[in-house]
Amino acid sequence: MGAVTLAVGERRKVDVVAREKWNPTGVLVGPRQRYSIAATGRWNDGGIKCGPDGFTVDEVHGVAHVIVKAGAPFLRLNNGRYFCVVGSVGRDRSSFFAIGAGLAEWSTDGRSGDLECFANDVPIAYWNNKESVQLVVTRLT
């Protein structure tokens, strides 16, 4: 089943699975629509546990610090936090935006398409990701 346009006030709950490079939300977003997005829960990046806001290089130590620092330039959302929930309109890299634990208000900036999400990680490193966080998307207008 494809994505649907939510009615104003309607919400959609979806799991964002850490190991998946793309997590469809089932929500079709469009111009002049505003949404709130909230994420809760905990997931795991190769043994580093965190919430939907993710973590920075400086928040890990030892061997993990060295590995995370080396991968930082290759994160899918450049200059984003590791394992931060990221949204995208369709699968267009130019539409990537950080969600983290949530956004009180977000709009598509004139784009339309399926809202997709993922854990911000290095593209070749999804194999060691575990668990999921829960996302609630609510249409405001």
Non-local (6+) Cβ contacts of 53 within 8 A are 81, 84, 100, 101
* Domain annotation covers residue 77: yes
* Domain annotation covers residue 65: yes
DSSP state of 101: T
91-105 pLDDT per residue, tens: 999 999 999 999 999
Q: What is the pTM of this model?
A: 0.95
* Domain annotation covers residue 18: no
Question: Are 29 and 112 within 8 A, CB to CB?
Answer: yes
Q: How many domains, in total, are found in the chain?
A: 1
CB half-sphere exposure, 30, CA atoms < 13 A = 8
Give 54's pLDDT tier (boundaries 50, 70, 90).
Answer: very high
If one counts every other C-beta atom within 10 angstroms of the C-beta of residue 95, the result is: 17
Structural domain boundaries, residue 64: 36-41+54-108
